[in-house]
Structure 1
Amino acid sequence: MINYTLKQLYSFEAVVRLKSFTKASKELYITQPAVYMQIQQLTKNIGSDLVNIKGKKVSPTHIGKKFYQTCLRVISTLEQSKADIEQSLNPNSGHLEISVATTTNSFVSRALAQFKNQYPNMTFHLEVTNRKLLLEKLANHNSDLVIMGEPPTDMLLSAHPFMENPLIVISHPDHPLLKNKRNTIKAISRETLITREQGSGTRITIERDAGMKFNSEIEINSNEAIIEAVQAGLGIGFVSKHTVQLELENNIIKQLNVDKFPITRHWYVVHSAKTTLSPIAQRFKDFIIESATN
């Protein structure tokens, strides 16, 4: 009979997910030797090596990969049970783990502030990050809710579109192309184009829907930095219109009229279809959907 403790499960899950004993120890607030001891004891209890260690890099063995999935299910069940109990004791409280794309941060921050006013006893952790890390959050069930652009199609997800997200072209207020009533994709492609990093939702959409290929080595991993680069006259940028409303209103930047733009996308509230949302997460999901339609 295979025996293991919850400490061993949490330690193993963190080591595999973070690929490091050091990072796992920091996340779990225990020493690195303690984490290593938990994994060693778990290995002994199961009777098979669970991780491969090469220098500082840690990866799961074949058995380790199978056991990792078991860890995810057990931990998910435990965390859900904990949330359910807390919610039963105080239906207006609970903790929310939410991860959002940088383009949605402004809207989500306002929504969280309003939601917190309604449920003052609830707590939350908000992480603003890029698409790659959002996908990792979804794959590893590390967030209750993810707010993002187009969801992946290769995961079993619940994804609800709740707001249009127009993607526009922006320039410095003195850019000569502003004199044209309409600019072609070909004309825009001759300019220095500033965009997000490879793999970002914005870049994928532009390349797919506008048929554009980026011609510069200027890649920036935040919308704020793209806006600042355009203000400085480094080139033409591509951003969600929601992120530059204030700059447009104050003529700090200008929106260029370009064929195929704006590209209208949507923001989605996403979570794993395999898990049941906690009451507070379900309430917040309903809240942002209703907020977007009002």
Structure 2
Amino acid sequence: MQRLNTLTFKQLRALDAVARTGSITRAADELGLTPPAVHSQLKALEENFGCSMLSRKGSGAFNETPEGAELLRAFDKAQAGLELAIHRIEALKKGFAGTVVLGVVSTGKYFAPGLVARLRHAYPDIEIILRIGNRDAIITALQDSAIDLAIMGRPPRDPPVESLLIGEHPHVLIAPPDHRLAKGGSITADDILSETIIVREPGSGTRILATRYLDRIGEGRPYETTEMGSNETIKQAVIAGLGIAMISAHTVTEELRTGRLRAIDIDGLPIIRHWFLLHRRDLQLTGAMRTVRSFIEQEKGSFLPRMT
């Protein structure tokens, strides 16, 4: 360890320069030193290791000894590692590298992977860690500082956040294509409330929106519900004829396009909510976080699914 503590980069650079040029004088010119200064560095190096690092026959050029060659190989690796570190540090300072944990509510899983792919293509040295959960889970992760940025609907009150609107988020009532409510015509609140309504689990933003809508049109009248834990399960349940459901249009674009599901045409629908990108107000954004935030802002919602 003592040898390592007294080893300096000046000594290693002197050894490298003399081994490459074969001359102390040429090495001194390259390093901007005097020949005695280069000789002094080499002498200190050899005294440290107790062996010769260079050999010379007569008046010929200097060549590294086996011990010197071993040390130079280590020096090359160290120098390459430090150059990489310098590059990484500059990238981190400029926001082109780092790690960002992005939390997305469950409904966003239909577009979040595509967004992450765009980010990785634009900034390959930024690692994006994607976390998916329902609204309550994402809010809890924000409170616990377990995520850096979040994409969700209505921003929470706790914790206080800075939010950026990134696009519209329509919600529709869906039914199977042969359902009586999918055939058009005049549809009333009673028609809706007489159906079994398939809803998400408590804590889901979609469930909160559906409950508010049904309570409003029904003026507080009761209705039958069936709870299911994912959008995929709800879609399959509606297709199977188990009921109707309010759901994010972004989760059913393909089913609506192919006719496997139909959006119920009734006044007041679709309900247009919005997607927000947000982070804790007290969070000190790293360069990578600022870069990701700016990228998503500049995309202007182009990564969101489009209703047909």
Shared fold, TM over 0.5: yes
TM-score in terms of structure 2 length? 0.64
Matches within 5 A, 1:59-98: 87-88=91-92, 91-98=95-102
Task: Name the CA distance, whole Å, in 2 between partners of 1:262 and 1:185.
Answer: 15
Of 255, 262, 273, 2:270 maps to: 262
Task: Name the CA distance, whole Å, in 1 between partners of 2:186 and 2:241.
Answer: 20
Please name the residue that 2:207 is paired with.
203
Contact 2:162–2:279, Cα closer than 8 Å, also in 1: yes
CA-based RMSD of the aligned residues comes to: 2.1
Task: Name the CA distance, whole Å, in 2 between partners of 1:272 and 1:166.
Answer: 26
Contact 1:184–1:259, Cα closer than 8 Å, also in 2: no
Of 250, 256, 264, 2:258 maps to: 250
Contact 1:95–1:124, Cα closer than 8 Å, also in 2: yes
Please name the residue that 1:160 is paired with.
164
Cα distance, 1:103–1:122 mapped onto 2, change above 3 Å:
same
Matches within 5 A, 1:111-130: 111-130=115-134
Higher Cα Rg, which structure: 2
Q: What SS does the corresponding residue of 1:150 show, helix, strand or coil?
A: coil
Residue by residue over 1:86-141, the C-alpha shift from the partner in whole angstroms, topping out at 9 and shown as x without a partner, is 85368422111111011112222111101101111221211111111111011111
The amino acid across from 1:194 in the alignment is I
Q: Which shows bigger deviation, 176-185 or 196-205?
A: 176-185
Task: Name the CA distance, whole Å, in 1 between partners of 2:189 and 2:295.
Answer: 39
Of 189, 194, 205, 1:190 maps to: 194
Q: Which runs of 5+ in 1 are unaligned?
A: 1-83
Of 160, 173, 198, 1:169 maps to: 173
Q: Which shows bigger deviation, 277-286 or 126-135?
A: 277-286
Task: Name the CA distance, whole Å, in 1 between partners of 2:95 and 2:165.
Answer: 27
**Number of residue pairs matched?**
211
Q: What SS does the corresponding residue of 1:218 show, helix, strand or coil?
A: strand
Please name the residue that 1:290 is paired with.
298
Of 209, 225, 228, 2:233 maps to: 225
Please name the residue that 1:234 is paired with.
242
Please name the residue that 1:150 is paired with.
154
Q: Percent identity?
A: 34
Q: What SS does the corresponding residue of 2:226 show, helix, strand or coil?
A: coil
Residue by residue over 1:53-74, the C-alpha shift from the partner in whole angstroms, topping out at 9 and shown as x without a partner, is xxxxxxxxxxxxxxxxxxxxxx
Query: Is residue 181 from structure 1 mapped to residue 185 from structure 2 by the alignment?
Result: yes
Please name the residue that 1:23 is paired with.
none
Segments of 4+ moved more than 4 angstroms:
84-87
Q: What SS does the corresponding residue of 2:300 show, helix, strand or coil?
A: helix
TM-score in terms of structure 1 length? 0.67
Residue by residue over 1:165-198, the C-alpha shift from the partner in whole angstroms, topping out at 9 and shown as x without a partner, is 0010000111011223342222101001111112
Contact 1:185–1:258, Cα closer than 8 Å, also in 2: no
